[in-house]
Structure 1
């Protein structure tokens, strides 16, 4: 077969696997025009046209539109440039499909209402930048005009959400719950109270690492008490409470008297909203951080014991 060989539309159809109708369409669209016509008026194509048609078929199979194909054939753009652009577009489509899949699975798991489905879809479609802005706006409103601990504020601002390209249904659910949480006026007011209290009591700060040590002690001792079935309001709780008060009083340079019990009770009442812990748990799910056991039951027990001590005095 040489360059002078001409093919009918039927020949091209057999060689390329395309239908006669499709080849006529490409010819009429000017993508692969006939090389010449036979005396009877039939379209005829040479080897170059066959090669062009093979290229058109390959590019169309890859989802590239005819306008772009014309530019490739006219050498306005290269196949490499088109491939790069369309590969990027396919990446975007894949991310979108993965996100839709995760949303649908989350909806199925939660048996969501139409309203929740709409909210879930809107929140999930946000970009990473939009998600971060949603959280930073919440933090800006919470800590505005307050003299809070810079290290604490830096920690808060480092905890920003980042959904992976292929999120799980659990991660989508976590983002939806987090979005609802930071938009809740009551939660925002509670976190603002915590921030105001911390700013007001910055002089009561302890040495670095002390809070972590106290938290560890509290968890160990209270969990042991709870495992033993000791209620926080029972007489059996008093020795545990006394030991904890001694540790906390020593850390803050105070005496474990009634005034200290009242001071510590207020500190826990302001700072132990379980939704604050939930905020960090949700961020952890989204960002793939290691999970940790909830401290809410531990400090609920501690606070209940403090209140019982105050009532019994």
Structure 2
């Protein structure tokens, strides 16, 4: 067929670009290379812009950009597409690094066990998309429709499920898998949702939690208790009384309560009834991040719980 002006038949486009006619036709059919016109006989015709776009499509496909993303080029500029693809490649690299680390560690340990195979089988659950989906469902279910609690959980979500390092140890991987199982556990979610129901209702009615105020008060409580611990104050000693007199009013402020026998009794009971899985949660986070455990906050609240129990 003869070229007409600045247009090409699909055969001519194939010859110039070096791509098979079948491939060009496929790109046209899926909308990656929209045809500009057809001849009265029904033959597809393409222009100079199509030739340039075809070269771009080929380049993007060679670096792994999917067809759906290429098709959206009409809505996004090329910079956005390449930035998106860079992020995809980086995620894939992290995944491959993790797989390599686990394979190396598995082979170094001798004959693979069923546990080793389980780790390898679950590596696909370690991506940021899977982590986001897990936390979306966790916040929604534990929040129970209470916007104040959901806001609080949303502020903690990045800390609650940290991202694995590019080359995790077996211990870090096992901690991550246990953490995923814990946060997916229906009973654990239900327990957290039931804790402090009345408190969170009051927070929602009051317009939401004072997160900055909570942080300041919580930091102050931890600092006071850790200083007392450094000074050798035992929770069951007489010297612990004045420490409690300083920190319990601040805890009361955080809970919307006034310090007194009733509040101290309810606070002690809350510590006693605290689900140990919640502490295990933060222990797993520390293992994944390779940070010291117990955290200073954990040590401080253990001390407070023991001091209140000694005076019950």
TM-score, scaled to structure 2: 0.57
Q: Return the alpha-carbon distance in structure 2 between the equivalents of residues 172 and 298 of structure 1.
A: 28
Distance (whole Å) between structure 2 residues aligned to residue 300 and residue 96 of structure 1:
38
**Aligned pairs, number:** 239
2 CA distance for matches of 1:201 and 1:85?
55
Structure 2 runs not aligned, ≥5 long: 1-14, 24-53, 66-87
Larger Rg: 1
CA deviation profile, 1:184-205 (whole Å, cap 9, x unmatched): 4553343223363543553798
1:43-91 deviation line (CA, Å, top 9, x unaligned): xxxxxxxxxxxxxxxxxxxxxxxxxxxx999642788765643432895
The answer to whether the aligner puts 1:192 opposite 2:193 as a matched pair is: yes
Cα distance in 1, alignment partners of residues 262 and 148 from structure 2: 25
Distance of 2:116 and 2:281 partners within structure 1:
21
Which of 245, 249, 258 is the equivalent residue of 2:248? 245
Q: 1:162 offset after TM fit, Å?
A: 7.2
Hey, what does 1:129 align to over in structure 2? 129
Partner Cα separation in structure 2 for residue 287 and residue 210 of structure 1: 27
1:262 positional shift: 1.4
Q: Paired residue for 2:115?
A: 116
1:296 aligns with one of 295, 298, 303:
298
> CA contact under 8 A between 1:161 and 1:286: conserved in structure 2?
no
- Confirm or deny: 8 A CA contact 1:146 1:196 kept in the other structure: no
Cα deviation, 1:143-182, whole Å, max 9, x if unaligned, reads: 2344644531432456685747944337644432321221
TM-score norm. by structure 1 comes to 0.56
Q: Indicate whether 1:213 and 2:212 are aligned.
A: no
Using the TM superposition, give the Cα deviation of residue 128 of structure 1 relative to its aligned residue in structure 2, in angstroms: 3.1
Instruction: Decide whether the 8 Å contact of 2:95 with 2:166 is kept in 1.
Output: no
Aligned 1:119-158 pairs, distance under 5 A: 119-126=118-125, 127-146=127-146, 148-156=148-156
Q: Structure 1 residues 82, 228: closer, same or farther in 2, change over 3 A?
A: same
CA distance in 2, matches of 1:158, 1:96: 19
Cα pair distance change 1:134/1:121, threshold 3 Å: farther
CA distance 1:177–1:216, change in 2 (3 Å): same
Distance of 1:95 and 1:121 partners within structure 2: 15
Given that residues 217 and 250 in structure 2 are in contact (C-alpha distance below 8 angstroms), is that contact kept between their aligned partners in structure 1? yes
Contact 2:101-2:167 within 8 A present in 1 as well: yes
Structure 2 counterpart SS, 1:125: helix
Q: Does 1:103 align with 2:102?
A: yes
For 2:96 and 2:181, how far apart are their aligned partners in 1?
A: 24
CA–CA distance in structure 2, aligned partners of residues 136 and 222 of structure 1: 34
> 1:284 and 1:83, CA in 2 relative to 1: closer, same or farther beyond 3 A?
farther
Provide Cα deviations, 1:234-276, integer angstroms capped at 9, x if missing partner.
2221221122234445666755321121132244445x54643
CA shift, 1:212, in A, is 1.9
The question of 1:233 aligning with 2:236 is answered yes
Please give the alpha-carbon distance, in whole angstroms, between the structure 2 residues aligned to 1:224 and 1:215.
Answer: 14
Runs of 5+ in structure 1 lacking a partner? 1-70
Name the counterpart of 1:35.
Answer: none
Q: Counterpart of 1:264 in 2: which secondary structure? A: helix
Given that residues 106 and 172 in structure 1 are in contact (C-alpha distance below 8 angstroms), is that contact kept between their aligned partners in structure 2? no
Q: Secondary structure at the match of 1:235?
A: coil
Q: Is 1:131–1:161's contact at 8 Å kept on the other side of the alignment?
A: yes
